[in-house]
Amino acid sequence: MSIVVNLDVMMARRKMSLNELSDQVGVSIVNLSILKQSKGKAIRFSTLGAVCKALNCQPGDILEYKDDGDDG
């Protein structure tokens, strides 16, 4: 099982750059880039809320659960 981060998809839909999102959310470009690449281990609810507000979306638009097919 894994959580997939679709931040790049939402940013493209809103035509927003990483720099713009960083400025609006108050999170460094480096940290947003780590999140965008699904390399982060965690995200604070306050950060997730700020990203959703900036992108006018819901958390489920950014985070997605994928079953890797492991039944056991």
Range of the domain at 58: 2-66
Q: pLDDT tens-digit profile of 8-30?
A: 999 999 999 999 999 999 999 99
Determine the Cα–Cα distance for residues 61 and 16; give it in Å rounded to an integer.
15
- What is the DSSP annotation of 7-51? HHHHHHHTT--HHHHHHHHT--HHHHHHHHTT--S---HHHHHHH
Instruction: Return the CATH number at 46.
Output: 1.10.260.40
Asked if residue 72 belongs to a domain, the reply is no
Determine the Cα–Cα distance for residues 22 and 9; give it in Å rounded to an integer.
16
Q: pLDDT tens-digit profile of 19-61?
A: 999 999 999 999 999 999 989 889 999 999 999 999 999 999 9
CA within 13 Å, CB half, 64: 14
